[in-house]
Structure 1
Amino acid sequence: MKLRLLFAFMPILLSGYFVRAQTLVQVENMQKAPSCYGIMKIDVPIQIDGRDDEKVWNLTPWTEEFTDIEGDVKSKPPYTTKIKMLWDNEHFYIYARMEEPHVWGRLTQRDTIIYHDNDFEIFIKPFEQQSFYYEIEVNPLNTILDLIMPKPYRLGGDALMHWDVKNLKSAIHVEGTLNNANDRDQYWAVEMAIPFKSLTTFSSKAAPNVNDYWRINFSRVQWQHEVHHGEYARKVKDGKLLPEENWVWSPIGVINMHYPERWGYVKFIDSLQEVSLPKSYRAEKMAWNIFYLQQLYKQEHKYFADSIEELEEGRHLLAKDADDLCCEIFINSYKAGYVLEVKDLESHFTVILDNFGHYRINYE
């Protein structure tokens, strides 16, 4: 690894929000490579009815089964969750199936806090350079919550709840009986068609091209329940709700979905092929690891480290991705802010990340 420290004594503004640091153990748990899935392009119509009985869905591979949000440090979820994805020129299609012996839901008002029911959640970051992303949640009653996050909560973001996915098509199928505590169900399924136009901004079109990558993740929130007078409710013990389970496609390593840098990758393809992580992944991973370690360092010392060597506790995490990467840190004179560059000398691009989590990639 080529590590150099460059000092640029320039002012770096500090904002009022606090960037929360993880523990080193949590950072170590965030090292697993993200999941990756190839989304096949189609040219036949799909009826959005909550079922996957069209031939094109039958030919579409499932993702891996969901795991706990913290990954392998937690036990395997008791109920299977898996998804399929497709795309055409207009829509991004998702089919999710969630094994569930008791399918129930209460919330019917759009944009209410859907994860107070069992729910399925979609996180989409179409644009590499921008920090914002979209979130869509749905419960077994097909009640939708949709929002834009300008940036993650931990970096000062705030949910923009007024945004709606225009012309979203969604449907639920329950293999069993919804809200009937007297029988045992098999699963509930979500089918969605998300228009690319609804993800488009003023300056950028969201419709992907073949071989484009997006950052995406999916989450299933699962509550323990109890039955009162034949109706389901979240389970309470000692006057408090029992905590929910969080099962995801690509594990984060901490209990927080709002780490888009830890989401999985999807690649838009038009022919069957083996899909691997993008070339930028290793440099992005190193940049974010340095970011996490700098947070830990500042938590202890009240200022940022002025050399990689000072990040002694976590340097073993950086050594794993050292080949052909050159790291440079530009830090201000008060050690209160920095800009980090990780250059991939082989693929000729640079990942740039600052202490606020502002991020971009420069390609040569």
Structure 2
Amino acid sequence: MSVNKSILIFSSIIFLLQYTYAQQTIQQVRKLQSSPALYNAHKITEKITIDGKMEEIWAKAPWSSLFADIEGDGQPVPPLKTQFKMLWDDNNLYIYAKLEEPHIWASIQQRDAIIYHDNDFEVFLKPTPSSPIYYELEINPHNTVMDLLMPKPYRFGGQALMHWDIQNLQTVVHVEGTLNNPNDKDSYWSVEIAIPFQSLTKFGTRKTPSLNSHWRMNFSRVQWQHQLENGQYSRKKENQKLLPEDNWVWSPIGLINMHYPERWGYIYFTADSTIDSYPASYRAEKTAWNIHYLQQIHRNKEKQYAAELSSLEGYAEFLKEDLKNFDVQITVAADKSFYRVSLKEKNSTHFFTIDNHGNYTTNYEQ
């Protein structure tokens, strides 16, 4: 890793850590309430050739919903369409993404560089409900890859493991147009990906998803405005400052930060059926995280955590009805600098716990 790359990664982490306790108002929590997107990934037995093009087998996969602004409702609709398809077999997760683009350009060609300094396509995967570990993959139109492992989100002190690679990853980019040529109008670029399940396996876990199980996933497109300098594309500047990028995603987060895995969508691994329902853990997980968000607001205002959930601002709006489904236990330190909440689903053995550090445990497994 070069010195410049280390500085860029460190700067990015510091930027994200500024969001550690971003929820300071009820309005901010309200923006985190949209329902996650859901996609049905169908299992196949046929072989896929990874070439960046949408061969006939992809007709079996539905298109995802169109990408939206990362902040969700109230933001402009992206002017360029982005969608994906997914399939899977016993060995790999397959992704085909199509990104409308009249100006296809890229400059970064070094593996594990900061790919989002170009326009890019990003994949976020969290296979295990009970583990905070997740993975990130970024690809630009040069087919340059950055992949990393996150032991937990940046806002809880997680640090990106840049030396980690998805072993035997396959990616191919197809450009419908010409790369880095400003003298014509392009149509789109697409990327086809094969991610071996075994490369995401932790000790003691399955190598292949179970049928009818869910993974937490999300997809992002970073899009920069461009300018031409001596006939070459670059990120656009005004008054010597880069204009901010657009962040278009499959399942909106509610704020400009992809590293909220509890706000990602769900991928349902199926043989041939189609569902529109979330996993059994969804209600407990959403309720637990709403407790966490409201406790952050309380701590920011009162300099301590609440010992009674009913005293939280926003309790009636975000918690009162949902908590009726659970037996609730809350443990608070004497100086109220720490809390831990346990939600046990009534008439069930399922539970979800969370504390002020964002640590959680659950026995909702697929």
TM-score (norm 2): 0.92
**For each residue in 1:149-183, what CA deviation from the matched residue of structure 2 results, as whole angstroms up to 9, or x when unmatched?**
01000000000000011111100011111111111
Q: Percent identity?
A: 52
4+ long deviations beyond 4 Å: none
Match of 1:198 in 2: 199
Give 1:343 shift.
Answer: 2.1
Match of 1:61 in 2: 62
Corresponding position: 1:94 with 2:101: no
3-state secondary structure, aligned to 1:352: strand
Give 1:207 shift.
Answer: 1.6
Match of 2:84 in 1: 83
Which residue identity does 2:262 align to in structure 1? Answer: E
Q: Judge conservation of contact 1:267–1:275 (CA < 8 Å) in 2.
A: no
Corresponding position: 1:230 with 2:231: yes
Question: CA distance change for structure 1 residues 64 and 347 in 2, over 3 Å: closer, same or farther?
Answer: farther
Match of 1:14 in 2: none
Alignment of 1:13-32 (within 5 A): 19-23=20-24, 24-32=26-34
Match of 2:330 in 1: 329
Match of 1:283 in 2: 284
Tell me how far apart the structure 1 counterparts of residues 176 and 324 of structure 2 sit (CA, whole Å): 50
Give 1:51 shift.
Answer: 0.6
Tell me how far apart the structure 1 counterparts of residues 165 and 243 of structure 2 sit (CA, whole Å): 31
3-state secondary structure, aligned to 1:312: coil
3-state secondary structure, aligned to 1:165: coil
3-state secondary structure, aligned to 2:290: helix
Tell me, which stretches of 5 or more residues in structure 2 are unaligned?
1-16
**For each residue in 1:265-288, what CA deviation from the matched residue of structure 2 results, as whole angstroms up to 9, or x when unmatched?**
111101122231112111110100
Question: CA distance change for structure 1 residues 200 and 216 in 2, over 3 Å: closer, same or farther?
Answer: same
Tell me how far apart the structure 2 counterparts of residues 225 and 145 of structure 1 sit (CA, whole Å): 22
Match of 1:161 in 2: 162
Alignment of 1:140-219 (within 5 A): 140-219=141-220
Tell me how far apart the structure 2 counterparts of residues 319 and 360 of structure 1 sit (CA, whole Å): 22
Tell me how far apart the structure 2 counterparts of residues 314 and 244 of structure 1 sit (CA, whole Å): 35
Q: Judge conservation of contact 1:127–1:206 (CA < 8 Å) in 2.
A: no
Question: CA distance change for structure 1 residues 180 and 125 in 2, over 3 Å: closer, same or farther?
Answer: same
Q: Judge conservation of contact 2:294–2:313 (CA < 8 Å) in 1.
A: no
Q: Which protein, 1 or 2, shows the higher relative CO under an 8 Å CA cutoff with sep ≥ 6?
A: 1
Give 1:303 shift.
Answer: 0.8
Q: Judge conservation of contact 2:172–2:193 (CA < 8 Å) in 1.
A: yes
3-state secondary structure, aligned to 1:290: helix
Give 1:252 shift.
Answer: 0.4
Which residue identity does 1:84 align to in structure 2? Answer: K
Tell me how far apart the structure 2 counterparts of residues 363 and 337 of structure 1 sit (CA, whole Å): 25
User: 348-357 or 111-120: which moved more?
Assistant: 348-357
Alignment of 1:223-262 (within 5 A): 223-262=224-263
3-state secondary structure, aligned to 2:294: helix
Q: Judge conservation of contact 2:112–2:147 (CA < 8 Å) in 1.
A: yes
3-state secondary structure, aligned to 1:72: coil
Which residue identity does 1:106 align to in structure 2? Answer: S
Give 1:53 shift.
Answer: 2.0
Q: How many residues align?
A: 347
Give 1:185 shift.
Answer: 0.7
Give 1:49 shift.
Answer: 0.5
Which residue identity does 2:357 align to in structure 1? Answer: F
3-state secondary structure, aligned to 2:319: helix
1:44 to 34, 43, 46: 46
Tell me, which stretches of 5 or more residues in structure 1 are unaligned?
1-16
User: 321-330 or 39-48: which moved more?
Assistant: 321-330
Tell me how far apart the structure 2 counterparts of residues 302 and 314 of structure 1 sit (CA, whole Å): 18
Q: Judge conservation of contact 2:42–2:60 (CA < 8 Å) in 1.
A: no
Which residue identity does 2:346 align to in structure 1? Answer: L
Which residue identity does 1:33 align to in structure 2? Answer: S
**For each residue in 1:249-302, what CA deviation from the matched residue of structure 2 results, as whole angstroms up to 9, or x when unmatched?**
000001000000000011110112223111211111010001011011101111
Tell me how far apart the structure 1 counterparts of residues 167 and 357 of structure 2 sit (CA, whole Å): 32
Q: Judge conservation of contact 1:222–1:244 (CA < 8 Å) in 2.
A: yes
User: 198-207 or 123-132: which moved more?
Assistant: 198-207
**For each residue in 1:58-95, what CA deviation from the matched residue of structure 2 results, as whole angstroms up to 9, or x when unmatched?**
22100100000000121110100000000000000000
Corresponding position: 1:128 with 2:129: yes
Tell me how far apart the structure 1 counterparts of residues 327 and 260 of structure 2 sit (CA, whole Å): 24
Alignment of 1:104-115 (within 5 A): 104-115=105-116
Question: CA distance change for structure 1 residues 273 and 313 in 2, over 3 Å: closer, same or farther?
Answer: closer
Question: CA distance change for structure 1 residues 319 and 206 in 2, over 3 Å: closer, same or farther?
Answer: farther
Match of 1:355 in 2: 356
Q: Judge conservation of contact 1:70–1:255 (CA < 8 Å) in 2.
A: yes
Tell me the C-alpha RMSD between the 2 structures.
1.5
Tell me how far apart the structure 1 counterparts of residues 67 and 290 of structure 2 sit (CA, whole Å): 24
Tell me how far apart the structure 2 counterparts of residues 317 and 274 of structure 1 sit (CA, whole Å): 26
Q: Judge conservation of contact 2:298–2:313 (CA < 8 Å) in 1.
A: no
Give 1:313 shift.
Answer: 3.6
TM-score (norm 1): 0.92
Question: CA distance change for structure 1 residues 154 and 348 in 2, over 3 Å: closer, same or farther?
Answer: same
Question: CA distance change for structure 1 residues 363 and 258 in 2, over 3 Å: closer, same or farther?
Answer: closer
Give 1:322 shift.
Answer: 4.1
User: 345-354 or 103-112: which moved more?
Assistant: 345-354
